[in-house]
Amino acid sequence: MKRISRRNFIKIVGAGAAALGLAACGSSSSSSTAASGAASSGAAAPAESIKVAAIETAYGSEMWQKVADAFTEQTGIAVELTTDKNLEDVIGPSMQGGDYPDVVHLATGREAALTEQFIKGNLIADITDVLSMTVPGETVKVSDKIAGGFTDTSLTNPYNDGKTYLAPMFYSPCGLFYNAAFLAENGWEVPQTWDEMWELGDAALAAGTYLFTYPTTGYFDAFFYALMYAAGGPEFFEKATHYEEGIWDTPEAQTCFDIVTKLATYTNPITPAQANDQDFTQNQQLVLDNKAIFMPNGTWIVGEMAEAPRAEGFEWGMTALPAVSEGGDRYSYTWFEQAWIPAGAEHIDAAKQFLAFLYSDVACELFAESNAIQPVLGIADSLEGDNKLFYSIYDNGAKAAMGNFAAFTAIPGIEIRTVFFDPVNSLVSGSITEQEWIDGIKSASDQMRANLVE
């Protein structure tokens, strides 16, 4: 198997500066499972063991050990499992030395941007053939298990070459989360349009609270994607996420910029100081304490804040982004994580078996016990409680938004988050203007467009 040199790794990925995940919590753990059982028929000759590295988020790490054990029981392939909330710190040094995990579960959108760097460096293995594999222990193909659309986006097919490189994992409808009891107590309705949102913002200020907060600026990815869909539909989204020349001068783009800028004026002013990977839960706490009404988030928020204090009678609510105008479409972005195989992995065939197993009924049930919901057909029918509410958002009039900004080769000092989302902190504090934010996006987009990964 072709190996990636330490020099190339350092050149493309750098030191892999560590950062806590947007939703990371809990302690680190690692374990190794012993081989047992026999390999499924028709599969490639099993490796003695494979290395799996998974980010530990609010879902915890125990589910990964259970799934690894179940995989070993089914295939006879042992799993050396590493989980950590600072996964970049843990696997970075060994990868610099040429020792790669066989499977990595690490989503895009993290501050360290390790997965993005592997994408830009073409360092991820093609896993298109996994979709046609039979799920270990079952008789159906992986492609027959995964729900429609999840392997047709730039999140899984980053090079626009018709091939899949990242496997979709743990989908989560994203939207605006709030205390439903707080709105009911004040006689407030959930806004259906942005005009109604501004009216609520004024009422909130009069009542001594704020309309909005956000955990970190990284959470604006799902927010901004849904907003682009609402402002201009799929066609505008496709053009914008591929940095089409002139796209940021269109009325649809201006609508997006204006909404975010106005929303900044309704944001609890303490938010930017706490909008980092160490203190983000303090901003989430603002919603639990009724010091802000809405925050952008995903379904993991319930587990992440399960032990946090909250206002009496607190009740989770979730809504899609408001429509831009009366009668317009409301969108909820479907965020999902990704698992992938480094191109320099030693046991790629066995790694592909592991990816296929992640969509088995056994694995899906084990993940669901920790509220990690796999994007497989029919999974929502088995959910209860808050998850039933959250995952039914698309049954209540909201449309699903999927996809993200297209990959581009590494540009020093330029990342999607730093260009599009981090400036929101400065909009809230008043240290930059809307036009300065837009000018930065235009300038960076020119470079991104010129460096698109083909």
Q: What is the mean pLDDT of residues 425-452?
A: 98
400: confidence class by pLDDT, cuts 50, 70, 90: confident
Whether residue 33 has pLDDT greater than 60: no
Whether residue 245 has pLDDT greater than 50: yes
Nearest CA to 20 among 109, 99, 143, 134? 109
pLDDT of residue 378: 79
Whether residue 102 has pLDDT greater than 90: yes
**What's the Cα-to-Cα distance from 364 to each of 97, 190, 377, rounded to whole Å?**
34, 33, 11
Nearest CA to 300 among 435, 126, 128, 172? 172
State the average pLDDT for the chain.
89
| Cα gap 375→155, rounded to integer Å | 14
| Cα gap 244→340, rounded to integer Å | 29
Order the strands of the 175-179 sheet from edge to edge: 295-297, 175-179, 316-319
Whether residue 365 has pLDDT greater than 90: yes
The CATH classification of domain 175-334+409-450, taken from the options 3.40.50.720, 3.90.226.10, 3.40.190.10, 3.20.20.70: 3.40.190.10
Confirm if 212 and 297 have CB atoms less than 8 A apart: no
pLDDT of residue 295: 99
Q: Can you give the residue ranges of every domain in the chain?
A: 6-164+341-376, 175-334+409-450
Per-residue tokens: 428: 């809230």
- Model pLDDT for residues 325-354, shown as the tens digit of each residue: 999 999 999 889 999 999 999 999 999 999
Whether residue 179 has pLDDT greater than 50: yes
Phi first, then psi: give them for residue 419, nearest 5 degrees.
-85, -50
Say which residue, 416 or 111, is predicted with more confidence: 416
H/E stretch holding 51 reads strand 49-55
pLDDT of residue 430: 98
| Cα gap 123→125, rounded to integer Å | 7
pLDDT of residue 313: 98
| Cα gap 242→403, rounded to integer Å | 11
pLDDT of residue 4: 47
Q: What is the mean pLDDT of residues 194-205?
A: 99
Whether residue 396 has pLDDT greater than 90: no
Whether residue 41 has pLDDT greater than 60: no
Whether residue 13 has pLDDT greater than 50: no
| Range name among 60-64, 171-175, 424-428 with the lowest pLDDT average | 171-175
| Range name among 70-84, 192-206, 301-315, 384-398 with the lowest pLDDT average | 384-398
pLDDT of residue 47: 55
Whether residue 44 has pLDDT greater than 60: no
Per DSSP, 295 falls in state E
- Model pLDDT for residues 223-236, shown as the tens digit of each residue: 999 999 999 998 89
Q: Is the dihedral of CA 366, 133, 153, 167 positive or negative?
A: positive
Whether residue 11 has pLDDT greater than 90: no
- Model pLDDT for residues 255-298, shown as the tens digit of each residue: 999 999 999 999 999 999 999 989 999 999 999 999 999 999 99
pLDDT of residue 234: 86
Phi first, then psi: give them for residue 335, nearest 5 degrees.
-90, 140
- pLDDT above 70 coverage of the chain, percent: 89
- Model pLDDT for residues 120-177, shown as the tens digit of each residue: 899 999 999 999 999 999 999 999 999 877 888 888 998 879 999 999 999 889 999 9
Q: What is the mean pLDDT of residues 355-378?
A: 94
Whether residue 87 has pLDDT greater than 70: yes
Length of the chain in residues, anyone?
454
Do 6-164+341-376 and 175-334+409-450 come out as alike in CATH topology? yes
**What's the Cα-to-Cα distance from 233 to each of 173, 222, 245, rounded to whole Å?**
18, 15, 18
Confirm if 434 and 274 have CB atoms less than 8 A apart: no
What class has domain 6-164+341-376? alpha beta
Whether residue 355 has pLDDT greater than 70: yes
